[in-house]
Amino acid sequence: MNNPVTGFSKLSKEEKINWIAKEYFSTPSEAILLLKNYWNSDEKIQKLHDEFIENTITNFYIPLGVAPNFLINGKYCTIPMAIEESSVVAAASNSSKFWSTRGGFKATVVNTEKIGQVHFIFKGDVSKLQLFFAQTKAKFYEQTESITKKMQKRGGGILDIVLQDKTNLLPDYFQLHATFETKDSMGANFINSCLEQFARILKEESLAYNLFTETEKNLQVIMSILSNYVPNCIVRAEVSCPIEALAEKHITNPQEFAERFVQAVQIAEVEPFRAVTHNKGIMNGVDAVVLATGNDFRAVEAGIHAYAAKSGQYSSLSHAKIENGIFTFWLEIPLALGTVGGLTSLHPLVKLSLEMLENPSAKELMQVVAVAGLAQNFAALRSLTTTGIQDGHMKMHLNNILNQFDANDNERILIRKHFKHHAVSHSGVVELIENLRK
């Protein structure tokens, strides 16, 4: 790029594409063709996608797969998963099959409280600020009724507002710390609207408060925003069965397997280097369902990883134990999800995914997502403590390598036949392709 572009956002999509192709690609026509090949042939759907974000030039596709036969709280469901990583959907499906004959998954929503904060600076007498808040608190509820009215009809709304002194962290730093119930919506817009109203009330009322000095009246609101850390919006998922019931093709000694499995989890509980990879496996399942159902997987990731470090050291999100001959494996994670609002009513595949899940409530979706994470983690740990993870993963990855080298149909047949009896590795596949082509 030789010169910056001005007024880019005002260009049409065609003009944006033409500029990018000309500016960055040696063969602009090929770049333009590639971008247009990923447009949806249905103009109405394409227009919908174009308006989700700014400066849209094309669609970036991620496969949408399904993991069937999940028995959750006594009911079967098929879980939609949007993800590009090989073996994730297969692993989830294997876990669902394994546990469907051993009692299935049990999931419980522990709490659904969400959080928002008004961050402000107050220079003055803290006791006067506390008295001011106590006398003003009712107004925060009263003057947000126009915002909360509909949410209250659905059983949600503002749960509480507290003044928090954070001056031990930063000089003169305070918060209005508010908790919310948003029912089936994720509630980001609702919460932020309430918080901005709180900030306005806080500022206006402080200016009129006659016990404040002029300095104290000059209260500075820094920002008002929801928190994606929701440690009181928790869902638990678990599986359990007698140790002997764990027996299967790759588990010939159930007692030994259970003990190794528990030890593997314990390592992730105490060793952050292992915990990060361990939890990444959980998020393979979680993110795939969150994305398929139109929820904010970045917010979910941030909140869950903060929760994993709540003790001061990053640790495993899942836990396992053997007690009285019973093997139990479980996780508890914070999940702020919605099934109404946002993309849930706009994106055609999100609507399809939610319909596939029989239009769940936010609580029901929390349970499904947590189960997907636990299933993924079980599959990974079962492989790690038995056959090793690379064998199954690389076999699933074989297609990607074949596509990378444009293998023809005959080459694919011969290569797949060869690797039925040999470990798959990238170098091994490349060497075989080269030999076949000689």
Lowest average pLDDT, out of 5-9, 263-267, 399-403, goes to 399-403
pLDDT at 41 (0 to 100): 94
Residues of the chain with CATH 3.90.770.10: 65-108+234-387
CB 256 within 8 A of CB 309: no
Q: Tell me the average pLDDT across 294-309.
A: 97
Q: Tell me the average pLDDT across 302-312.
A: 98
Rounded Cα distance, 410 and 385, in Å: 36
Tokens of 281: 């496996």
Residues of the chain with CATH 3.30.70.420: 114-227
Q: Tell me the average pLDDT across 239-263.
A: 96
Question: Does residue 393 have a pLDDT over 60?
Answer: no
Q: Tell me the average pLDDT across 83-91.
A: 94
Burial (CB count <10 Å: 0-12, 13-18, 19+), residue 379: buried
Q: What is the pLDDT of residues 355-374, one digit of tens each?
A: 999 999 999 999 999 999 99
Catalytically active residues are: 85, 280, 296, 393
CB 283 within 8 A of CB 374: no
pLDDT at 61 (0 to 100): 94
> Hey, what CATH topology would domain 65-108+234-387 get?
3.90.770
Question: Does residue 390 have a pLDDT over 80?
Answer: no
Lowest average pLDDT, out of 91-100, 387-396, 425-434, goes to 387-396
What share of the chain in percent tops pLDDT 70?
A: 97
pTM given for the model: 0.88
Question: Does residue 119 have a pLDDT over 70?
Answer: yes
Q: Tell me the average pLDDT across 295-316.
A: 98
Question: Does residue 388 have a pLDDT over 70?
Answer: no
Question: Does residue 395 have a pLDDT over 70?
Answer: no
pLDDT at 8 (0 to 100): 95
Q: Which CATH number fits domain 114-227: 3.30.750.24, 3.40.50.720, 3.30.70.420, 3.90.1150.50?
A: 3.30.70.420
pLDDT at 341 (0 to 100): 85
What share of the chain in percent tops pLDDT 90?
A: 85
pLDDT at 282 (0 to 100): 98
Could you tell me the pLDDT band of residue 426, with boundaries at 50, 70 and 90?
confident
Q: What is the pLDDT of residues 177-212, one digit of tens each?
A: 999 999 999 999 999 999 999 999 999 999 999 999
pLDDT at 403 (0 to 100): 81
Q: What's the mean per-residue pLDDT of the chain?
A: 94
Could you tell me the pLDDT band of residue 434, with boundaries at 50, 70 and 90?
confident
Which pairs count as long-range contacts for 83-90, CB under 8 Å and 24+ apart, including other chains? 83/284, 83/287, 83/288, 83/291, 85/284, 86/393, 86/396, 86/397, 86/399, 86/400, 87/392, 87/393, 87/396, 87/397, 88/284, 88/285, 88/288, 88/376, 89/65, 89/288, 90/392, 90/396
Question: Does residue 35 have a pLDDT over 90?
Answer: yes
